[in-house]
Amino acid sequence: MIAKLVEQLLKELGEDAQRQGLERTPERVEKALRFLTSGYQMSVDEVLNDALFVEQYDEMVVVKDIDFFSLCVPGRQIVNAVGGARPARDIRPGDRLWTLDEGYLKETAVTMVASRKTRDIVEVRTTSGRFRLTPDHPVMTESGWREARDLETGTKVEWVNPKSLCREPHEPKPGYALGYVLGAVAADGRIQDGRRINVVVKSAAFAEKYRLKFAEAFPSSAPAVECVTVPSGFLKKKIPMFRVRTVSRAIGEKLCRWLGIPEQGSRSKTKSFGFPRVVTSSADMMRGFLDGYCDGDGYTAGAARYIVSSNRNFLSALAEYLQTPVAKTGTDDRARIYVSGRWDQPGWYGKHGFRQQSEFYVPVDSTYATVVAVRRLPKPKKPYTIYSFKCEPYPTFLVGGHLTHNCEHHLLPFIGKAHVAYMPDRKIVGLSKIPRLVEMFSRRLQVQERLTTQIANTLNASLQPRGVAVVMEAIHLCMLMRGVEKQNSKAVTSAMLGSFRSRPETRAEFMELIKSSRGLVM
């Protein structure tokens, strides 16, 4: 069948497929394509599992200069452009698209746009929306890049709320004020739909202090204190209260992620939040958290302060940190812990005092949406036009908030060298199996970025080492022969897992070991 299609292709190009020199070309092309894509007939079990064994060796294993070749793949339809979502057909070189880099929102520029026709489209439906792709279009999942057709119900796909793309960033300022806000919201706050932060209290002084600390923690915000009335089930009447309300998805999402609560729906924090470890990044921030919580849902008895809550998980975690017991308060489900005025002093009754358990961090912009269904659309009479974008400095972009990746569809090879390393944790694999693994994944329709992560993720899953590193350098014939026609361009991609990502010295050692090979791609 492939040979017949190649023969028809030659005729469409104006050639005589039966002339001397071309009469056997269709079958040669079929044979070559089957060889180039033979990786589909190989499996990880065949390549690795029969060569895994235990060995007491814990130094770095590096296999470098592995030659490979592969083929590029396709396309796109609708994207999240900077300034608002737009149809792919309206995207032009120079336009900017939203993308994610390690979970954080970034902008990337379109440098090339290509299009083609197809009747083969899949629709992916997630808990956060739906989008349409070609079956082989890569989508970022919790375990790495996967083609759209391989997504399954329950797969988690990296996602960012598209409504947040044009919002003010509201960068938080670490310190006492932010700790106080977290404590007050945990004690007396409510966050609705991840964006409406309400604190309603009886004390005007507490409301005003919270307002001031909120404005200090998020300098671009300006909350106000409002006088409201709230119905009391106990008193059977409305009572006067003070409310501080802020509407901001940027702030609400950060507070939800620090407190470990869902961002969707209307939820009270009373029984669902967790102890935000970020407050242990500094003594001032921890002190602010304790003051904010005590002012909201605690009390003072002489020189002693007590935190009260029905959230046993939170109280247990905080009590463990403060090295103090959890005590019952009465017959209901509430409990309390004692907060000493000297909680931060090392050696006070043999306790460790303040102890940093977290660096200050701002929660990432992205989260994960769960795949609900994947279906192939019925083939239409008129083919779809799909679009492919080449972007820099990030080759990825968002579709309906979902992170995707693509490369121009030319069915032209990219060739180069792969360098693979891992840090064993008792289990090692025969060295010859690593080039075979590279060969298996490269002999498929590929993009270089996905090829890199597939190799890294597979080694990581099979060996469970302390770390995996993969660097790939390649020349893409689609860049040499057409489009930009850059004869000296090559692409370098990397994937670092475990100790190679977390330890700069390990990563530097690996890069030094492969240095002598860099620049020798043929």
As a whole number of angstroms, the distance between CA 368 and CA 77 comes to 21
| Residue 391 is a catalytic residue | no
As a whole number of angstroms, the distance between CA 122 and CA 386 comes to 12
| Residue 402 is a catalytic residue | no
Q: What size, in residues, is the chain? A: 522
> ∠ CA(108), CA(109), CA(111), 5° rounding?
140
Contact 420, 68 (CB under 8 A): no
Selected catalytic residue, list 7, 77, 407, 446: 407
User: 252 in helix, strand or coil?
Assistant: helix
| Residue 409 is a catalytic residue | yes
Q: Which of 160, 165, 159, 140 is nearest to 150 (CA)?
A: 140
Token representation of residue 490:
């090559």
DSSP 379: P
Contact 483, 112 (CB under 8 A): yes
Instruction: Give me the sheet containing 78-81, strands edge to edge.
Output: 84-87, 78-81, 96-101, 104-118, 384-392
Neighbouring-strand partners of residue 230: 239
Selected catalytic residue, list 137, 402, 405, 409: 409
Give 425-457 as a DSSP string: BSEEE-TTHHHHHHHHHHSSB--HHHHHHHHHH
Selected catalytic residue, list 170, 402, 405, 410: 410
Selected catalytic residue, list 446, 448, 449, 473: 448
Contact 440, 39 (CB under 8 A): yes
Half-sphere exposure of 282 (CA within 13 A, CB side): 13
CA dist 400 → 92, 108, 415 (Å): 19, 16, 33
| Residue 478 is a catalytic residue | yes
Selected catalytic residue, list 7, 253, 408, 449: 408
If 0-12 CB within 10 Å is exposed, 13-18 middle and 19+ buried, where does residue 332 land?
A: exposed
| Residue 227 is a catalytic residue | no
Show which residues are catalytic.
Answer: 407-410, 448, 476, 478
